[in-house]
Every structure is written in C-alpha cells, then in structure tokens.
Amino acid sequence: MKICRLLALARSLTRGRAAAGAIVPACLLFIAPPGAHAQRLPTNVVPVQYTLTLTPDLATATFSGVERINVNIEQPINSITLNAAELKFQSVIILPNGPRQTGAVSLDPDREQATFTFPHTLAAGTATLEIHFTGILNSELRGFYLSKADGHRYAVTQFEPTDARRAFPCFDEPAFKAVFAVTLIVPKTDTAISNGQIVSDTPGPSPSQHTLEFSATPKMSSYLVAFLVGQFQCTAGTSDNVSIRVCATPEKVAYTPYALSVAKFALHYYDHYFGIPYPLKKLDLIAIPDFEAGAMENFGAITYRETDLLLDAKTASVGAKQNVALVVAHEMAHQWFGDLVTMEWWNNIWLNEGFATWMETKTVAAMHPEWKMPQVVAGDEQSTLNFDAQPTTRSIRAPLANTPAEINQLFDDITYYKASDVLLTVENYLGPEMFQKGVHAYLTAHAYSNATAQDFWNAQTETSHKPVDQVMESLVLEPGEPILTFGAPSGGRVSVTQKRFFLNPDSTAPVDEKWTLPVCFKTGSVSEDCELLGPETTSLKAPQASLFYANAGGKGYYRSAYAPAQYQALVDQVETGLQPIERISLAGDEWARVRAGQATVGDYLNLAAALKADQNAEVISSALSPTGTINDELAATPEERDALAAWIRRTFEPEYLKLGSPSPNDSPDKRQLRANLFRVLGYFGKDPTVLAEANRITQQYLANPSSVEPTLGQTALAVAAEHGNAQLFDQLQNVYETSNNPEFQEGALRMLAEFENPALVRRALSFAVSGKVRNQDAAIQLAIALEMPESRQEAWDYIKDNWDKVQTQLTTSMGSILVEGTGGFCSAAARDDVESFFATHKVPAADVALKHAIEHIDGCIEFRRLQEPKLKDWLGAQGASQAAF
C-alpha cells in the first residue's frame, strides 16, 4: 500500500518544504499506546478456501453476502472465532464430519470479532462454515465502500490492513492464507473486477442483474482480496503472456495508456529480476475516484488514486510521470514481495513496503535512465535520515502491533523509506548480483507462505557468506541512526567514533546504542572500499585517495562528520571530486549538523553556493530545499528575509539564465533543473523578473497547457498562486471542478491552499470543507494551509472556529494528517494552543500525530534559538562583502 507519498507530493507544490524542513514526516509514526490489548484470533481453526458471493445494491449503499469457508479444525472445539465488523448475520451453519449444526452468533465490536458457538463439539478435521450476512457500502474509504463520479456510483474495496472484515466474515490476519473464489451479482449496466479472471458471465438472477464468477486466487492473505463494481472501462495489453489492463471511469479512460506502458515494462523486469514468473494470468490496475491511500497491491487487481495512475503523457510534468511510474512499479513489486510472500505479522510490514519502495526506483531507473533515479533516491534518503533522527522514532521492526489502531500507524517513513535505504546499504555491501541471488532464495523458500525478518537476512547470509545477519539485525532492530565522526587519516588508518544522532541537540538516547554496518570509502571517481564497522571499532583501514570521503556512492545509512581539513577539502572539490549522489549526501549531512547545532547555518549556505553551478536537478533541489526552512524559521525580520532573498538572487539567478528558454530538445533533468531554480527564485528570491514571468506563463498555461513546457508551467502556476488574486483563484477552482485530467484537477486544488491573501485563504479553507472536495483531499488542503507561514495562523483559527465542519471531512488517516499539520508552528504559545485544543477535540487515531506535532514545534523553537543569531551574522557579512565589492 502506498500512503507515505501522499502528503509529500502535496507538499512538493508548496515550496518544496517537505525536503526543506526535513523534520515533518510524510506519514505517521507508530508508538504503541500504553495498555493496548491484543486482538489476535485463536489458531485452532485455519481457513483453506473461501467461496464468496456478494450482491451490492449501489442505490441503497448496502450489500448481501453468502459465504462458505472450508476450514481445518486443529482440535475438538465448541466455538469458532473470526473477524467481522459492521456486518449483520442472518444465519451460520457448519457442515463438519458429523451432523449439520446451527451456530449462535455473539459479537465483540471492540475486538471486531464474531464467535459462532455450536450445541455439539466439533471434531478435529475438515469442516465448512456457511454464513449469510448483510453490510453497508460505507463512506469511510475502507472495507467495501461507495465511490461516486460523474453521476455514477461505484462499489469498491480497500482492505489493508484490517478491513476485509467489513466486507465479509474472515480470518483477517496475514498468516491465515487461503484461496478465495469470488462471485459478484451486479447491475447489468455495470461490470465487475476481482483478483481472478472472469470465468463466466450469466444473466440474472433478476432481469436487471448479471452474475460474474471469477477464477479462484492463489493462496493469499485476506487483506489482498479485492472486488470493484461500476462502469469501468479499460485499456489492455500483454507482457510475458500476461494480460494487463488499466481501468478507470469512462470519462478518464483516455488517461490510461501511460500507466499501461509502465506496467508492461515492470512485469517483464520483475519476471527476470526475481526469477519467478508473475503468478496469475491477468493483472488489472484500476483508478478509483475516492481512495484514501495512494495505491493498494491487491493480488491481480491493484487499486490506485486517480493521480497515481492516470495522466496525459503529452501535457504531464516530469514529476507527474515519475510519480505514476514509481507507484505502478511499487504496487507491482508487491505481487512478489507482499502477495506471493507475505510478512507473518504486521510488525514486519517493512518486508512488504521496504522492498517495494526499494524495487520501484530500481525498475523506473531501468526504464528511464535519463531520470537519474539514483539521485532521487539519495535525496529521499536525506529526508528519511532526518525523520529517523527524532527522539520518538522507532525500529524498522515494530516492537508491538496488535490492534487495528496500532497496525495502521505502522505505515510510516520507517516502514517505507528507512527499510528501503537499509536494503540499498546491504545491496551495495554485497554487490547487486549477490544480493539478487539472496532475494531469489528468499522468495523461492517462502512462496505462497509467510516470512519474518530473520528469514530474509538468513537467506542473504547463507547466499553471500557475509555477516548480513549482523548488519541487518543492527539496522532493523535499533531505532535511529548513527553519526560517524572521522579523524584525519594517518598511516593507512582513520579513527572513527559512532553515536546516535538527533536533530535536536537536547535529545539523548536512553542507552548507548551501537551499530554494525558497512562503511564504504571513496577510492576513485566511481570505486570504493568497504569496511565493516562494529560496536567496538575505533579505527578503520583508510584508502590511499586524494580525497577522503566515507560514504562512497551515498548508500550508507548513517550521517558523517569530518575533521576540519578533510571537510574543507570536500567543499573545495565538491563539483570535481564527488559524484552527484555524493554531493547530495554531503549536503544532507551538513544540513543535519546545522539542525543539531554542530555546524552553523552560514556553513551550510556556503556549501550550497559551492554547488550553485551543478547541472543535476536533484543536487540543486537538495542543496536549495533548506532555504525554505531558513526563510520561514530563522529569518526573523523583513530585513533578514530581504537579505536572504538578495543572496539567493545573486547566487542562483545567473545559473537560471544560463539554461535559456525551454526547448523540445531539453532533457527531463534540464527541465526539472530549470523549474527548481525558477521555484526558489520566485518563492524565496522574490525575483521580480521571475515573478512577472510566472504570471505570464500561468495565463498561457491555463489557456493552453500544451503550449507550455509542463514542468515549468506547473511550477510557474505554483509561484503565481502565492501572490495571486481572486481572478486566478477562480480560474484554479474552475479547473478543479471541470477538468477530467487528474493531474490538472489535483494540482489546481492543491494550489488553492497556497494563496497569501487572507480573504482567499478563507475561501480556500471554506471550499475544502464545503463537501465539494472529496474527503480523501480535504484534510490535505487544510494541512497545506497550516504549513504555509503566511496562512498558518488564519488556517488554524478557521479550523478551531469551524471544527464541526472540519471534523465531518476527516477519515481515519486524514484526521492524523490534519493534526500533524499543526507542527508547523514555532512558538511556545502556539504549541500550548495546539495541545489545549486537541485535548478537548479528540481526533481518532491521532494521538501519535499530536505528539509529533508538539515535538516539531519544540524542535523549531530550539533551532531558531541556536541558529537565528548566526544567520543574522552571516547575512551581515555577505552584505558587507557585497558592498565592498
């Protein structure tokens, strides 16, 4: 399931602050609440096959179901407990090796369980449960729910992690794998999609219905079941003899071909990489109008937000193409990691999500080498390291996760991005071919079954004969990350110390944590020597190299610090001695040290200036993204912000002008580089030429999107929106309400939250909770407004004053995103106000988000205290130098 990218993508429209701040998580962090009670099922009954017939009534938003579950009873019992939520039971009978019995149903709503008690003991052996039940097509974007588009209704599903139980009674835990045979009785004007292929389509049972029977699935977990009903239309193709379809509502099917091309490439790539052919005969990718997550990896029937699957390749920005390609590749990787082999329990969900995140960039890099995906990975890693440098971070393998609330909070940056970065570290240590062999061994050993973290690292250890188990156990079980501090190399060795790193200098670890991990030294332009650092290691073999750099390739999961002479040499040779990925890593390390009070903000800005002429978009993006945080959190007066803006213009405007006007011959990276420089010059440089150009491009782009280079067009639109007037606001609102292009539609909506004019801020906030914005998006709009410094207080006051309206728009995950958004404040008074409000206005499943918000505010207060005077001094020195010049 892809959920972490949602808010990060929304923030990419708002000045790039996700990377800039680097302390606001893109998704929630899990901390088990005290006193949480386990809700695990007994293991004395094991499902073998479900035969499920469902009849949804879209007009009344209800459904009925008839289900037969073949089970193995492990020991004599009188009752069977499984999961069920928001279902009503008409009858339960069991057909064991004995007389037919009718079960009495007792419900435990808090545990989301149903227990069937029978008058006579059920003998050990096989039996069949037959259950008749009804349910509702809810509006909560989970379970079996209702979606609407263009006057039509759709019945769709989202089951991960614990919501299959809302659609049918089941053993809703990942280790209870079984076969699922689904039949859907639907209106004859609609079609249906499920995990298997349609094997029969017959009229009836009523004249207005037809019955679609689907082939049985492989053995899989209940959260991977999917069924969708409505007027879907599809674009079809094949890859490696597998039928692939990309489906959408009729008015948006024209935007499916791009995703189809990605899916065809990815399936062939995965067949080859994993050495195991895709297990099904068909693969459907379906865009759903109302969808809370980014996408969901249902076996053979992957579901998506429309913006994560649909686009017009002729008018799409580079970023939009990359996003669709990455999300498609991510979910398809799950067909092996997650569907074929599934984690035994949710505390190892990283085995699913970390692998899919790691594989998505590998696949897209192979398909589009011109996108320079390894640099994108390096940039993302900096944000992940900063996320992991918070006191309340957790280990990759969660210590506890039993209740649905606990499990839902595991889908965070640690599960997705830290796990992916750790896999990258291990792959670099072993070499790609050896690592691939270990992956194949792991998948082969556990196909159609479940696995643990130890299963994976043991497979890699046995294949490579290297201590992968020690490395991965250290990185997977320890929370946080180390900072490695290197002395000056001498006599072929270099001293090294390791310590847990925190962004907040006042934070300390409860114990003296130490890691075992490979440290790779740069030995040439693209060569490296890797040494294993252990808990007791005090020095490592140092290479004979002209430049000492201790994270060759930027693939190590750690922060680095150097002796003064070695660091200065790195800055002096940053463009000639380091590869682009290494420049990103060096800049990330230095910015993290600034946040931790170990370096000054001026040190960082000097490094950014040294990178100004870099021709790689991701290097410039990584170098410039902290300017947003500096502007918003450190520049305390208009004079300081003006001085910072003047430095940005002097330093980066010449580099922007060198790129010239957009050309059809520009590479994707050059287009992105131009947009990155345009954005920083417009937002923080307040460059009058760029601002005027933003307004001109915006009107041209809105009138005819194909007449403007898309990446620059959307960037110009975002810059123009910040200072935009009511006319531009009306234009964007009209695009959102009338366009069928998902990229344009969502982009216009997000930009409504960027206007600075107080009257337009209020319009945007009112529109977000008016019911005209889907509830999958409303909280994101409010969170963007909370993140913008100019609208933050206005947004917070509006939320408090209109809480009843706001609350009705919040789904489970979106409520947490709203609470998390309050972490943008930077004063003790605002912190106390946030705490006080949510103490009396509880948001379900948002207690952890509130803890993070408060932590972020406290971190900003400390950061400002440490670095604002140093920024003032540095800006003064820059001004004096410029005056002298």
- The distance from CA 564 to its chain's CA centroid, rounded to whole angstroms, is 37
Tokens of 160: 């991960």
Which amino acid does the sequence have at 136?
A: I
Q: CA nearest 691: which of 668, 657, 670, 715?
A: 715
Tokens of 122: 């059920």
8 Å CB contact between 391 and 855: yes
Which amino acid does the sequence have at 59?
A: A
Tokens of 719: 């810059």
Contacts of 487 (CB under 8 A, 6+ apart): 494, 495, 496, 563
CA distance 369 to 357: 18
Q: CA nearest 384: which of 352, 423, 345, 348?
A: 423
∠ CA 738-740-741, nearest 5°, is: 120
Q: CA nearest 526: which of 550, 548, 553?
A: 553
CA distance 397 to 413: 13
Instruction: For 89, list phi and psi in degrees, rounded to 5.
Output: -100, 130
CA distance 369 to 361: 11
CA distance 472 to 458: 10
Dihedral in degrees, nearest 10, Cα atoms 380, 381, 382, 385: 130
639 classed as catalytic = no
Q: CA nearest 584: which of 565, 548, 611?
A: 611
**Residue 508 CB-half CA count within 13 A:** 4
∠ CA 347-351-354, nearest 5°, is: 110
Q: Which residue has the tokens 């099917």?
A: 253
Residue 2 forms beta bridges with which residues? 295
CA distance 834 to 793: 11
CA distance 476 to 474: 6
Q: How many residues in total does the chain contain?
A: 885
8 Å CB contact between 857 and 829: no
Strand ranges, E, within 510-572 = 517-522, 528-533, 539-541, 559-561
Given the residues 112, 331, 360, 722, the one annotated as active site:
331
8 Å CB contact between 176 and 41: yes
Contacts of 530 (CB under 8 A, 6+ apart): 428, 429, 518, 519, 520, 521
Tokens of 485: 């501090």
Residue 65 forms beta bridges with which residues? 54, 133
Tokens of 225: 């079941």
Q: CA nearest 116: which of 96, 143, 142, 97?
A: 96
Tokens of 405: 């609330």
CA distance 451 to 438: 14
- The distance from CA 869 to its chain's CA centroid, rounded to whole angstroms, is 36
Which strands make up the sheet holding 482-486, listed edge to edge? 539-541, 493-500, 482-486, 559-561
CA distance 549 to 545: 9
8 Å CB contact between 334 and 297: yes
**Residue 275 CB-half CA count within 13 A:** 11
8 Å CB contact between 322 and 710: no
Q: CA nearest 329: which of 617, 647, 44, 2?
A: 2
Q: Which residues are catalytic?
A: 331
